[in-house]
Structure 1
Amino acid sequence: MDIFLLLKGLAIGFSIAAPVGPIGVLVIKRTLSQGRVYGLLSGLGAASADAVFGLIAGLGLSFITNFLVGQQFWFHLAGGAFLCYLGIKTIMSAASENPA
């Protein structure tokens, strides 16, 4: 039973890790066309960019949330003004001669 559980876990792990996105395709393409060093550097660049994005998301989320909540009035005011602009622009526009 334990070996079955291990094989099942390996299958699930490989199926999660298998999908290749656009960055993975870029790394594979550079590795095949320009060599191992370019592929390794492209992969390290992609991994470090993901790490920076994760760090920003993890540490900056509370800062961004606090900022947005603090400036809530101004966001509401700007959004309401934009909706009024769209409404006035729609009312002032000429009707189409040919309906869609």
Structure 2
Amino acid sequence: MTRIQNKIRSTQIVRGPKAQKGSQTVQHALQRIENSAYLASMGDSSALIDVDTLKELANHTNFDAVRYVDRDGNNLSSDGQVCQIQDRSYLKRDVWGKWP
């Protein structure tokens, strides 16, 4: 546990509900910083996106799950699911610019 996380925990115990609300805000900010730092440490690995990369990303951040969809409609999930979504209207519209 980091020094900041220890400080947050002690604030929650000592100060009550208002401090807990404030410390939750700080905790969420800390999580966003940690997520951003991890993503930045991955560098430009866009050519290396696969299920293992997504699992690693989910394990090292506070995201519950991570999904990646490429331009061809290949949908990869951090839980190992792989499916095709090239027939979805939102993909056709938003990625390929095809309107119904």
TM-score by length of 2: 0.31
If each structure's strand is expressed as a fraction of its own residues, which one has the higher value? 2
If each structure's helix is expressed as a fraction of its own residues, which one has the higher value? 1
- Greater relative contact order, per chain length (Cα 8 Å cut-off, separation 6+): 2
Larger radius of gyration: 1
TM-score by length of 1: 0.31
